[in-house]
A and B are shown apart, each in its own frame.
Chain A
């Protein structure tokens, strides 16, 4: 943590949910403390990369929009992830590239156009209050964020940044990385231990049906609706749950568990979404449809390493 903290932005209007997220809180899950971190690892990593920040730097995760920020100094930023109708002063703000903004400029987040979560990184990185080794903001646990208390941004908050010497210019993410989240997507799922306990028809349905993203979706988990999945195991003795676990409670409707999930749980699981599939799911609007695809471990590891190689 840098000793010098500068005010980068001031919040002139708070949206429904804007959270500071570094890579997440690790090494404390055995105490019941959740992982946190960016719901969309892909977009978050690109925002930091474009602004030349090292892996793990804290960026803002803006969900739904609504937020309005005023720059308190000249800054270099990058906006990635969802198109939330973001405006830089009175012009549409370009995403997936570096953008120089001047003191007094405004950034206004509108409403979701394409995807759900937008990431704002600033060259040098935001400077939050590290709690248990991370500034990741988890509202439910009252941990992290700018104040350390797990609060979503509020009107008049000063957003502190680290001083920066080099401000990158003209960086753009490759077009293939600039995701369109409106398309129906297929999510890679690594089958887990209880997969054999599901009825044959249910397994067929799990990987062939169109699943709809439910309204009940947040940083803890996303519920999917579709054919009822039947499992011979109703509940297990509670055990650790890893990122992307797809659990199936007795109502037969799967829930994919994301960054702020509880650390242990007792429903049978189909398996785990890969980290990139979980990222993609975090950008799905309620009502969007998707499919699940059984992935092989070799390919999943290769894909994940290839993605990470550019950043870490």
Chain B
């Protein structure tokens, strides 16, 4: 098994911590003039997304995690798995289970591209692009003439997400939405 020593630590490095794959976000060297050096590392657990800081004694080695990030095209769902296809023209398919899909589940649209993280070749997370364009499947009827400002109402999108939208939005409209905070951006002209 490959290992990394603290001198190789840098942001983006994928390592195994408590048997789970993690990514280093920030690495800071702590070295008193007369004393043991430490590496303070901000880590993200790639399975559950938890971010925290762990301190390592310099010179220590930790196991590398066999983690890959791939761009994947969403194909379909079969009730148990969500199927994606690699975008490298290999047509190779990968199925993500409910734990891996959780963050992306309400933003899925066939043929859109997502970022999938694979650990030991199995998908552990799927991240939607920052912005997606989705059709409104259900909302209260639009108020004519109200295109400026005013209140908001909930709208259900074809992918299942519910977002707050301006009152003028109608069923069938295509909306651009920020997936990081579920915020409506604008209506896309059809």
A interacts with B: no
Residues of A within 8 A of B (CB): none
